[in-house]
Amino acid sequence: MGSENITAVRIGKERVVLEEDTTVVPIELELAGSSTVELTLTVAAPPVMEVAQAPAVGASRLTLGQKVPAKPEGVASGAIFKPIKRTDAAFATLVRNDNSDIVFKNEEGTSADRMMTPKLKVKLDALAVLVKAEWAGTKLRVTEAWDEQGEHAAGSLHYEGRAADLTTAPLDNAKLGRLGRLAVDAGFDWVFYENAVHVHVSMKK
Ligand SMILES: [Zn+2]
C-alpha cells in the first residue's frame, strides 16, 4: 500500500468508497463453506508535502538590498558615538590592516581605508580567507573603511572605523551576492548588500 492515499476498495465488482476520514476499514471475507476471515485495512495518512523553498536567511547568496540581520544598522551594530579624527585620542584605538590577502583601494592615498577597529579587522581577515577559498585567484577588496573626509552620510559607522565597503579583486559585481553571504558567515554584526557595486558591513563598537 505504501504511502498512497486509498479512497476506495474494489471487491469483485463491488467498489466501496471510503469515507474521507476513514483510517481503519474492517473487511470481512466470507469464504466458501462456513469460515470467515476478518481483515483490517489501514489507510495511511497522505504524505506531508515538503514545500521546496529557500529560506532567505540561509540562502547561499544575498539579494540586492538584503540586510542580515534584517534590522536597521543602528539596531544591529549600534549608532555612531562620535566620528574619529586623526587628531583625536580615539584614533589610537584604530588598527591598521596590512593583510596581503586583502586589496585596499586607498584612493585617498592616506591609507585611511586600512584603518579600522580591531573587531572589524578580525572579521575582514576571516572573510579574506573565505573569499580566497571560494574563488581561486580572487581577493577581498576594501574600497572604504575608516572615513576621515566626510564622504558618507551623517551618522555613518565609517566615521568610527566600524564599517567597510567590499567588492572583489578583480572586480566582478556578479560575485557580490555570494560575497554578502560569505560576510554573514564570517560573522559581521550587520551585512548590507547595499547596491549593485558593493556590500557594506559593520561591527558593534
Ligand atoms: Zn559603507
Distance 166 CA to ligand 1 centre (A): 8
- 101-142 residue pLDDT tens: 999 998 889 999 999 999 999 999 999 999 999 999 999 999
Q: How far apart are the first and last CA of the chain?
A: 62
Considering the chain, tell me which residue range(s) the CATH 3.30.1380.10 domain(s) occupy: 63-202
DSSP 70-96: SS-HHHHT-----PPPTTSGGGGG-EE
Q: Residue 100 to residues 52, 92, 120, 179: CA-CA distances in angstroms?
A: 41, 22, 16, 18
> 3-state DSSP: the chain helix, strand, coil percent, rounded to 5?
25, 25, 50
Greater model confidence, 100 or 21: 100
Domain at 63-202: CATH code: 3.30.1380.10
Please report where in the chains the cell 585617498 appears, as a residue. Answer: 108
Distance 118 CA to ligand 1 centre (A): 17
Distance 114 CA to ligand 1 centre (A): 14
The residue-averaged pLDDT of 45-67 equals: 69
pLDDT reported for residue 59: 84
Distance 22 CA to ligand 1 centre (A): 61
Greater model confidence, 24 or 178: 178
What is the pLDDT confidence band of residue 54, given thresholds at 50, 70 and 90? very low
